Structure 1
């Protein structure tokens, strides 16, 4: 029997996604492991692999479609030996239904014959009406068409459906948006009341501009950051850190690691310093979970990486126990695959704390927004030559500002201050984090 291919949940927080691109077409044979589509989740654009074998009988959801709910049917696969044309039959009413639709449900879809009534005298004039998509007060419309109508502001009551039994389908919504859809005759429905044209946005002022639809990732970033700022009481603690010893150690280590093809970045050393700090101040290596406080037994550092269309945080797990060369190698691999949209779910989901470095842009300092459910994030500014007091004399040193953002529900100010103190000591005396 035909296999309904459903929209997968590619991350724990994913409720809907964008079917960015089909990598197969109708009639293609697929095997388990073959790439079927690129799906834009709330985190990244990921490739979707086939689990079943067969032939793509019908593509139900076109590429580029937004807001496809997890579990919605996106394609139909005919199994080996099955008639492809028979498997592809059906309409959009299958969208959003589970993989195996009970036969009883299909039977129930057919209207029962109405009981015969005694004939009554016909009125003098019996107006002829066109088929209507409504059944009484209920409008017959496919789930996909209903969602598109809500998104595009199309009045379903004004349309005449072209689907089976007068059902309104996606094509009718598309036609309505373009102004070519058939509307109900006056005999079946009154014309919709005229509405005033929407007023131009107050901030447009006829300024030349371009518009771009928000991606799923950008919408998720906006939602999560808004929630974080509205629900998490942030406390910010900043320290100035002398970098000269760390820069010297990095130079010496890179000289010895050159033959192994490893080149440490300053960020690699800061990831290590943050991880060791969290283990030394475990009251900051925590997370709020409802009415419980979780204290983690290892430091997994989520590292903010800018990618086309947004931001993602691949994770260096157990960064407190890994060598700098391993951290550097893993970070380069994760960052590269993050930009290509090739990260696996476990590589960016989780983490006990985050680090965000904007020093490469010359940013002196900034306050980062906590990435829930984590309880802290370290914001790193650029290392700059500044006047600095060393051994009671004013000298020139390379100084970096680091700001910790802490969830004040989970972390007290004194504990956050202790973490920043330990972090500063480790960076200023970097051999301590290698011991």
Structure 2
């Protein structure tokens, strides 16, 4: 019996993906662990490995197909002891790509809402367990929605994000809620006149779509408060030079960003009221500082995470950050390497940017934006002198963090950077 190969869920939030590239063809033999395809999720382009041995007898979804639902059969594999010809005959018909035009239909009259009784809750193998994605469960909890009354549109009746977002709290199953302003704003279709200007239309990939949706939701739903102060870098730059001289024989070269990651993590541990997330009717207080670091990749912005950065040495942070940044640019990050984090750091100083306000990366409650270090007049020990100064701006979720707490975090960060020996203690 041939084995169907289905579109995998490569991250907890993945509901569909783009089959970017096939690395095998019909007739190829594969072994467990062989890379079969590259799949573009809502976060990154990831490699899909074979889990069984056998021969590819059919490829049912062509490369480049977008919107392929998780669980869709994308290929068929015949086992070692199976006849390849028979496997090919038993293989399902190729799945129709969403890019293929649908047959034209005559205009239909306005539909009337179906009665609520017609909708059925998501089925489950046990008969009483609700099958829903983790994201759908979280949204349902926040909106006060009973998942037993929601109709699942995912594979095998699985309840997905869209099902919950389209349901009002307390509404009967199958009754869709009116689109919220955030949902309406996330619709990608915009009719913009070209005004006769020559242009090239570049289709968004899944990652860019996700960035656009998440940033729109963040600005519409999170009340941002911005706090900016200046930080003298001279002592930090001197320490960095000394450390790099000591670590040269190990092939390690610390960047200013490596020290700032450590500095933010230590500041969060000193001001734990800012190391939090707003979660509806509760506030989550984290016991360690996991720092998400913004990295510009060809497919879009992504934030790999330095886990427990406060307890790691600067050299360990530097080595890990270089590895993660490389994987991010190659689209090879694994979900656990970019999902999570308790706060973020975004550094545009290498581009000469003096100061900027960053958008919070939900569900986190703060992000620190740092600009370039530049020579400025400064008062040091009561005397006017020239110092290397960097502007740092913290963006805080005002639902979770008060202005005074945010100010304490910024002061703690400033003190740590200006007195950097604590970074190596």
Q: Please give the TM-score of this superposition, normalised by the length of structure 2.
A: 0.77
Q: Which residue of 2 aligns with 1:3?
A: 3
CA distance 1:69–1:202, shift in 2 (3 Å): closer
Quick check: 283-292 or 415-424, which moved more?
A: 283-292
Q: Secondary structure in 1 aligned to 2:399?
A: coil
Q: Call closer, same or farther: CA 1:242–1:22 in 2, change over 3 Å.
A: same
State the partner residue of 1:16.
Answer: 16
Q: Residue 313 in 1 paired to residue 303 in 2? A: yes
Task: Confirm or deny that 1:299 pairs with 2:289.
Answer: yes
Equivalent in the alignment of 2:60: 60
Output one character per residue of 1:287-332: Cα deviation in whole Å (capped at 9) or x when no partner. Answer: 1223221111111111111110201111111110111111111111
Aligned to 1:45: 45
Cα 1:43–1:245 shift into 2, 3 Å: same
Larger radius of gyration: 1
**Change over 3 Å in CA distance of 1:72–1:339 after alignment to 2:** same
- Residues 245 and 42 of structure 1: is their aligned pair in 2 closer, same or farther, counting only changes over 3 Å? same
Corresponding position of 2:85: 85
Does residue 338 of structure 2 align to residue 389 of structure 1?
A: no
Change (3 A) 1:201 1:316: closer
Structure 2 CA distance for aligned equivalents of residues 148 and 63 of structure 1:
12
Q: Which string of whole-angstrom CA distances, capped at 9 and with x for unpartnered residues, describes residues 227-270 of structure 1?
A: 11111111111110011110111111111111111111000000
Secondary structure of the corresponding residue to residue 88 of structure 1: helix
Q: Distance in 1 between matches of 2:90 and 2:13?
A: 31
- What residue is the counterpart of 1:131 in the other structure? none
Matches within 5 A, 1:63-142: 63-89=63-89, 95=95
Q: Which residue in the other structure is 1:107 paired with?
A: none
Is residue 346–residue 367 contact of structure 2 (8 Å, CA) maintained in 1? yes
CA distance in 1, matches of 2:8, 2:204: 21
What residue number does 2:114 align with? none
Paired position in structure 2 for 1:250: 240
- TM-score of the superposed pair, with normalisation by structure 1: 0.76
Inter-partner Cα distance in structure 1 for 2:13 and 2:353: 32
Structure 1 residues 92-111: Cα deviation after superposition (integer angstroms, max 9, x where no partner): 6685xxxxxxxxxxxxxxxx
Give the direction of change, closer, same or farther, for the CA distance of 1:83–1:157 in structure 2 (3 Å limit). Answer: farther
Q: How many residues align?
A: 343
How far apart are 1:86 and its partner, in Å? Answer: 2.6
Answer yes or no: is 1:342 the counterpart of 2:291. no
Match of 2:227? Answer: 237
**CA displacement at 1:155 relative to structure 2:** 1.7
Cα distance in 1 between the residues matched to 2:43 and 2:203: 17
Judge conservation of contact 2:215–2:359 (CA < 8 Å) in 1: yes
1:326 equivalent to 2:275? Answer no
* Cα distance in structure 2, aligned partners of 1:201 and 1:311: 25
Q: What's 2:208 paired with?
A: 218
State how far apart, in whole Å, the 2-side matches of 1:227 and 1:330 are.
Answer: 31
Partner of 2:155: none
Shift of 1:11: 1.2
Q: Structure 2 vs 1, CA of residues 340 and 67 (structure 1 numbering), >3 Å: closer, same or farther?
A: same
Matched, 1:155 2:155: no
Is this contact kept in 1: 2:259–2:423, CA < 8 A?
A: no
Aligned to 1:368: 358
Contact 2:57 2:91 in 1 (8 A): no
What residue in structure 2 maps to residue 424 of structure 1? 414
CA distance in 2, matches of 1:5, 1:32: 13
**1:26 corresponds to which residue?**
26
The answer for the alignment partner of 2:172 in structure 1 is none
State the distance in 2 between where 1:402 and 1:37 align.
Answer: 42
1:341, distance to aligned residue in structure 2 (A)? 1.7
SS of 1:27 mapped into structure 2: coil
Structure 1 residue matching 2:89: 3-state secondary structure: coil
CA deviation map 1:274-295 (0-9, x unaligned): 0000000011111122322111
Instruction: State the distance in 1 between where 2:351 and 2:209 align.
Output: 25
| 1:359 is the counterpart of 2:349 | yes
Q: 1:271 Cα deviation (Å)? A: 0.2
- Structure 1, unaligned stretches of length 5 or more? 96-143, 159-199
Q: Retained in 1: the 8 A contact 2:57–2:78? A: yes
**Secondary structure, in 3 states, of the residue corresponding to 2:309?**
coil
User: Which of residues 411, 415, 432 in structure 1 aligns to 2:405?
Assistant: 415
Given that 2:76 and 2:91 are in contact with CA atoms closer than 8 Å, whether structure 1 keeps it comes out as: no
Secondary structure, counterpart of 2:311 in structure 1: coil
